[in-house]
Structure 1
Amino acid sequence: MVLSMAVIGAVVAVIYVFIPHDESATPVKAVNSAELTAAVSSASRAASYPLLAPKGLDGKDWKTTSVRYRGADDEHWHLGLHGPDGKYVGVEQTSGKPGPFIADKSQDAKDTGRTERIGGKDWKRYEGDSYDALVLQEGGATTVVTGSGSFARLTEVAGALRPAPADKG
């Protein structure tokens, strides 16, 4: 039995040594540009508020990892990004109640009472244990730029947000 365990241990050691692996790498599946364009176009037509999406973020440094729109009673736009530093930044929008939405999307970050002037607008600054956030309320919507990224990254994304074309045809 001891000999069998030694043989199994040797096989596992050989596999571990010869199979390439990078434990520090985070597998990131990016949304392709055609899927992103279609999702933004569709959501902007359906949304009851001016839907915001980032423009001009460098595609090789920023990767869109998720995108979705949910309509009806709890209307919600989501865009997830993987930043150049490997951190997550999300863009969240709703026409629903701001308080619960901000708490949920920022993972209970707290309003600091400070604002950041970004793109000519005053964004409220929230800080939390897991996520920080920048929050803007205008045009019938609450926009939350949140995530594990630094405030510099959150500011970069908030500054890149532009109204998506609302071709309501």
Structure 2
Amino acid sequence: MKPTQMDRLDFVSSIVLTIFGIAILVESLRMPRLENLKVNQFTVPGIVPGVLGLLLAVCGFAILVRSVKRGGWRLGITGQDTAAWVTSAPVQRSAATLGLTLLYALVLFPHVPFNFSTPLFVFAFVVTAEAMALGRWPKWQAMVTGLILAVLAGLIIGYVFQQLFFVRLPGG
């Protein structure tokens, strides 16, 4: 049987999902267990991420087995295919999202007060997404909408975490 494009996509994505699930499981096992506080073993911080990571890995592996049975491992990728994939709109949007998120997580969030970094991130994300969708910089109305959304998101997220969840935020 000749593999379909979906079988090949399933093969690649299942490997990513399986590895990601295993990484989540490993990191959840490294989280504190709080034995010294005599915390119930079913309420430790790593239990939910660990279970979700395990389920993600199992599901990813199941998709991998199915795609291998269907011949998905025969990718048949050419240089032109790779170039078309890298320059495709979904990959460009994903790269922009990943770049902005990493900038926020690694640079802004740890070093800039939350009340400034989060609205800045939301504004940059909205403007970037709008620019990529339009193929040009958005008009001033979209910039104002992004600014309003950013301020509201910063206030609401800050309130929820600090007042409802009692989480201290950086610079908060």
Question: TM-score per shorter chain, which class?
Answer: under 0.3
Question: TM-score, normalized by length of structure 2?
Answer: 0.25
> Which of the two has greater helix per residue?
2
